[in-house]
Structure 1
């Protein structure tokens, strides 16, 4: 497959300015003309392999840091926003959007924020309920802000990841069971004992700093209790680092900042239970068998799947993996993608995606070969999970998780061994969500795409009551 051209002018310019070099001096160092460098920095020319190698040799940079992943994620979000009918009379071309994303990412983020505010305001006006007129300016919710923060840092936080890996090495994780190692360390290092939480309070974790007691839900699964213990360690030991990261993120509200701090402590907990190099090595050895990896690290399948999607350390990146958690109504409650597949920010997931079938076959890992409208093909895995505990009358939380990769990496997964990944006909056509999907003849279409005019023929009825012009 022909590789896309790499336009990374802004990153090249940032590297040159960080080294305090003029264009002429920088061009001389990497062996190209000043005019060629000027064209690269203005994204008028792509970067060749030779230039990348010269950058690595002369400036000791990891060329994987120049990948287009960050721009692709931003381009995906901007493209979805610009598909709104609001922009029908002034919709820029894909090439124009690429230029904006590559040359003015700050402007792209501002456009996304403005569009989200517009959508929220429109939804509030359309609802005409008790909240009408009571809301302040339509701003992103704190959860939206935090979700976008993690999305645009590729869900990888280097400072926390390295700190967690160092501590895991001291504790002997994963060779030592984290359900034993973590409470033991918490008590010896900080004098904090873990104990059973009251069955009345319905809390997974409650920390009493005065009595130095960490109360954990006795009915939750062992991996959950280990994770909550790891969270408490991170919240105590990495507090200054977490504060700094949250402060520099530029959140609009204190609520978003507090939610981000929780998310960062959660990130540390996952990295402590499943340290980077150990997980990457085990994933290769076990060929990404989720159940075996979960047993190896004393984790749940959800924890393993989510952590695999964060293995994006510069210079040591793992396979680009996507991960999502979806409830029975189709709402995506967790999402991250290091692959080209980007989840819709509004609306439900594509009904043709195998993640919905997981609710019909609980306990099984369902496989699917899928192709998105842009022609990219994926290996998709899905399984239904439930979280209960607390007895017969306790509510059961049921959801499905989806995890997968582009088909070019599928042979690294045990799940692809008997699938016909070389046969394009074996791939199911899926989309991102109906509102932005361009597939014309989809029998599962729930709503029309925003960018297409509808043709309604009273004498013809197909799978949906209209055709797309």
Structure 2
């Protein structure tokens, strides 16, 4: 079996410049020649095993950070952007790899530019009467900017995660909701109450009263109380994180602050060390983990996808949530599988079937066009409206990992992982999926022309060239 060569020039340059070292000094510390280091930093040569060991020895560097996670995300995002018909001759995969590895800032700038173009086209198509109005902008939509912030942080914010884990020790393992109310009262002078018909969470700064919906479950009440505590007790930490993000608009900053408070709440409810150990012990049994930590299955699945702490990483999962229209409402991937930035997920993926089998876990062995195989798990989740007339929000969640990690999941125990025919073909987006014979194809791939024959009709109304 061949091993994949590791090119990590951008990571090496980042490590060297962060320590204010010249190439000569850096090479000496690592025990390699200056020319060899220069070749590796420019991705002309792969990183050697000896250099990996030297990085760990000399700098205490977590060598798992050398993985091409960000490059894979950038390549997937650029491929999707380049599927836009405005690009008549898109670059080759090898060219995209070079850009993502050697010039990641350029890649991100290109993605920002394409996003501005896309939004401009949408404005021209649907809001022509508003063109020229005061405040019209082509800047990234605030929630897209926030989504990308978490996406490129691997959905793991170390300072916030560690602060939440430290706080969780004060809650203990008994009635954590009662402990939370007591801590809010003793440390911050905030009284907590529940009330029927109240909003899910409402904080009155004048009376220092936190009101939680009585109809919400204990897991939701604990999460919301921890969210409010993050805003009050860890506001400086959240603001410092936001300063580093450098959002373009105040709206994006405000949205991200809510996101960071949610992150703190989830990490306090499912503290990293204990949750990571329990996940390994239960072999990632979502239902057992939900019972152990008093959380929902969606919270557990989402948290599993964030276990990316350097030196203590969990199984690299992808996590996604889709609505009944197939729109992706949450997405993150610590694997090579990257989700479409626009539109929905591949209809061949089992996450869509979860709506048809409520209350059941669905399992799937899947293979993407690049030949990478995955174990996929999906289930429907419902969020009750809390009154008879209120609508119920329904979603489906998907959690999965590359097949090399499937043995760590209890759900894969009786799956025929070695059977090639057991793997179903899935894609990312029709515009970047090379499969010519997919019966669910909605659009031709960006790098293939089409041939129209008025006298013949197959599965598709056209044939790929």
TM-score under structure 1 normalisation?
0.95
Alignment partner of 1:453 is 2:439 = no
**Alignment match, 1:346:** 342
Alignment partner of 1:115 is 2:114 = yes
- Contact 2:142/2:255 (<8 A) preserved: yes
Residue in structure 1 matching 2:309, options 304, 310, 313: 313
> How far apart are 1:181 and its partner, in Å?
2.4
SS at 2:442 equivalent: coil
Once the two structures are superposed, residues 160-214 of structure 1 have per-residue CA deviations (whole angstroms, 9 ceiling, x without a partner) of 1111111112322xx2243332222222221212222451x6x211111111111
Which range is displaced more, 53-62 or 148-157? 53-62
Alignment partner of 1:334 is 2:333 = no
Alignment partner of 1:186 is 2:184 = yes
- Contact 2:361/2:377 (<8 A) preserved: yes
- Contact 1:347/1:435 (<8 A) preserved: no
Alignment partner of 1:104 is 2:112 = no
- Contact 2:321/2:395 (<8 A) preserved: yes
In structure 1, C-alpha distance between the alignment counterparts of 2:127 and 2:148, rounded to whole Å? 28
**Alignment match, 1:61:** 61
**Alignment match, 2:193:** 195
**Alignment match, 1:88:** 88
- Contact 2:79/2:432 (<8 A) preserved: no
In structure 2, C-alpha distance between the alignment counterparts of 1:460 and 1:337, rounded to whole Å? 41
In structure 2, C-alpha distance between the alignment counterparts of 1:356 and 1:60, rounded to whole Å? 43
Which range is displaced more, 301-310 or 123-132? 123-132
In structure 1, C-alpha distance between the alignment counterparts of 2:448 and 2:122, rounded to whole Å? 21
- Contact 1:74/1:152 (<8 A) preserved: no
- Contact 1:117/1:139 (<8 A) preserved: yes
In structure 2, C-alpha distance between the alignment counterparts of 1:223 and 1:343, rounded to whole Å? 29
**Alignment match, 1:283:** 279
Once the two structures are superposed, residues 260-281 of structure 1 have per-residue CA deviations (whole angstroms, 9 ceiling, x without a partner) of 0000000000000000011111
> How far apart are 1:447 and its partner, in Å?
2.8
In structure 1, C-alpha distance between the alignment counterparts of 2:244 and 2:15, rounded to whole Å? 21
- Contact 2:80/2:431 (<8 A) preserved: no
- Contact 2:196/2:215 (<8 A) preserved: no
Which range is displaced more, 128-137 or 429-438? 128-137
**Alignment match, 1:229:** 225
**Alignment match, 1:355:** 351
Which range is displaced more, 22-31 or 4-13? 22-31
In structure 2, C-alpha distance between the alignment counterparts of 1:431 and 1:243, rounded to whole Å? 38
SS at 1:386 equivalent: strand
SS at 1:86 equivalent: coil
In structure 1, C-alpha distance between the alignment counterparts of 2:127 and 2:238, rounded to whole Å? 40
In structure 2, C-alpha distance between the alignment counterparts of 1:375 and 1:25, rounded to whole Å? 41
In structure 1, C-alpha distance between the alignment counterparts of 2:236 and 2:309, rounded to whole Å? 22
In structure 1, C-alpha distance between the alignment counterparts of 2:34 and 2:400, rounded to whole Å? 43
> How far apart are 1:85 and its partner, in Å?
2.4
Alignment partner of 1:270 is 2:266 = yes
Which range is displaced more, 137-146 or 26-35? 26-35
> How far apart are 1:132 and its partner, in Å?
5.2
> How far apart are 1:445 and its partner, in Å?
1.6
> How far apart are 1:236 and its partner, in Å?
1.1
In structure 2, C-alpha distance between the alignment counterparts of 1:101 and 1:426, rounded to whole Å? 33
Structure 1: gaps of 5 or more residues: none
After the TM superposition, which residues 294-313 of structure 1 pair with which residues of structure 2 at under 5 Å, given as runs?
Answer: 294-313=290-309
In structure 2, C-alpha distance between the alignment counterparts of 1:316 and 1:232, rounded to whole Å? 28
SS at 2:192 equivalent: strand
In structure 2, C-alpha distance between the alignment counterparts of 1:17 and 1:268, rounded to whole Å? 31
- Contact 1:326/1:399 (<8 A) preserved: yes
Structure 2: gaps of 5 or more residues: none
**Alignment match, 1:442:** 438
SS at 1:73 equivalent: helix
**Alignment match, 1:207:** 203
Alignment partner of 1:427 is 2:426 = no
In structure 2, C-alpha distance between the alignment counterparts of 1:345 and 1:23, rounded to whole Å? 38
